[in-house]
């Protein structure tokens, strides 16, 4: 069971932070960086991980809004915003618990590493 979780986390790390396009990688590293740099104590790791995941989701949503092709009448009715919101919500609802856990653990590990480096280099 632990091996399965570990493999899921490694797959999530590879697909999110090493694969895909440059915009998605920038969004992922940006959200992790913001969360790690705003973290004050090591006990905030869980809340900062949730913050990073929320920033990652928001960045992905905004990317979809600005890069999606315009639908007819979307400027008047807000169809692009609503369509992207429905699409993003559908993707989120189709995620399994194992996938959500692996995203949480992957982001947590990277935040912890960046926070550790920040702590080591900020001491004199």
Buried b (16+ CB within 10 A) or exposed e, 70-92: eeeeeeeeeebeeebeeebeeee
Whether pLDDT at 83 is above 80: no
**Residue 99: alpha-carbon gap to chain centroid:** 12
Would you place residue 3 in the very low, low, confident or very high pLDDT band (cuts 50, 70, 90)?
Answer: confident
Whether pLDDT at 72 is above 80: no
Report for 45-54, 56-65, 68-77: range of highest mean pLDDT:
45-54
pLDDT cut 90: percent of the chain above it: 35
Count of structural domains, the chain: 1
- For residue 20, the SS3 value is coil
What are the tens digits of pLDDT across the range 32-60?
A: 999 999 999 889 999 999 999 999 999 98
Range of the domain at 64: 2-122
Buried b (16+ CB within 10 A) or exposed e, 42-68: eeebeebbebbbebbbebbbebbeeee
Is the distance from CB of 9 to CB of 102 less than 8 angstroms?
yes
At 97 the pLDDT is 83
């Amino acid at each position: 069971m632990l091996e399965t979780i570990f493999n899921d986390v490694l797959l999530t790390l590879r697909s999110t932070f090493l694969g895909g396009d440059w915009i998605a990688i920038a969004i992922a590293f940006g959200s992790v960086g913001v969360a790690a740099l705003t973290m004050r104590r090591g006990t905030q790791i869980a809340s900062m991980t949730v913050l990073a995941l929320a920033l990652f989701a928001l960045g992905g949503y905004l990317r979809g809004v600005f890069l999606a092709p315009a639908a007819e009448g979307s400027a008047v009715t807000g169809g692009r915003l609503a369509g992207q919101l429905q699409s993003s919500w559908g993707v989120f609802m189709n995620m399994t618990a194992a996938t959500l856990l692996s995203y949480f653990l992957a982001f947590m590990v990277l935040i912890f590493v960046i926070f550790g480096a920040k702590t080591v280099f900020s001491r004199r």
